[in-house]
Amino acid sequence: MSTTHIVVMGISGSGKSTVAAGLVRATGYAFAEADEFHPKANVAKMAAGHALNDQDRWPWLQALADWMTERAQEGTSTVMACSALRRSYRDVLRSGAPEVLFVHVDGSAEVIRERMNHRDGHFMPASLLDSQIATLEPLQADERGVVIDVAKSPEELVDEALTWLHKA
């Protein structure tokens, strides 16, 4: 049975969880919030205002890839909200499930910083936004994905992603 696995990616505060939730409502696919896969040490490090390094990320990324692979083996398609900032991280995510597509929620740092400053209850402080921007590597031509503009409404973003997914 063919499955599809969608990773809604972008820097913290871009709205990837909101877009992912909209895609789940529209598709009925299984959902994972990548932040929930972080070990406690990673969450504590970010909450203290320290950026993760690759040593922190590799086990987390492998756990995410394993989750998608397990769902694929069950015949279940998925949507995941995950920063997936670097090509090498996306390569790990693509390593197991047969078809992984990326929806990159991207836009101006000013819009994203404003959103981060007004959200409650998230462990990622706005002070780490610049490190995320510096880490971000845009999707490359050989990666199956679409870039959507963070300045649009959540409904517009979901509609744009769905339109692209139906063509992909």
Q: For residue range 43-66, list pLDDT tens digits in order.
A: 899 888 887 889 999 999 999 999
Beta-bridged to residue 114, according to DSSP, are: none
Task: Classify residue 129: in a domain, yes or no.
Answer: yes
Kindly report, residue by residue over 88-146, the tens digit of the pLDDT: 999 999 998 989 999 999 988 877 777 666 555 544 555 667 778 888 999 999 999 99
Identify the residue with better confidence: 27 or 110.
27
**What DSSP assignment string belongs to 74-131?**
HT--EEEE----SHHHHHHHTTSSS-EEEEEEE--HHHHHHHHHT--S-SS-GGGHHH
Task: Classify residue 45: in a domain, yes or no.
Answer: yes
Task: Classify residue 160: in a domain, yes or no.
Answer: no
Residue 140's CATH number: 3.40.50.300
**Does the pLDDT at position 22 exceed 70?**
yes
4-17: average pLDDT? 92
Question: How many domains does the chain contain in total?
Answer: 1
Q: What pLDDT sits at residue 52?
A: 83
Nearest one of 27, 39, 151, 38 to 79, comparing CA atoms: 27
Nearest one of 166, 3, 167 to 78, comparing CA atoms: 3
Domain with 66, as residue range(s), is: 5-151
Q: What pLDDT sits at residue 117?
A: 62
Q: What pLDDT sits at residue 134?
A: 86
Task: Classify residue 166: in a domain, yes or no.
Answer: no
C-alpha dihedral, 90 to 95 to 98 to 99, nearest 10°: 0
Task: Classify residue 168: in a domain, yes or no.
Answer: no
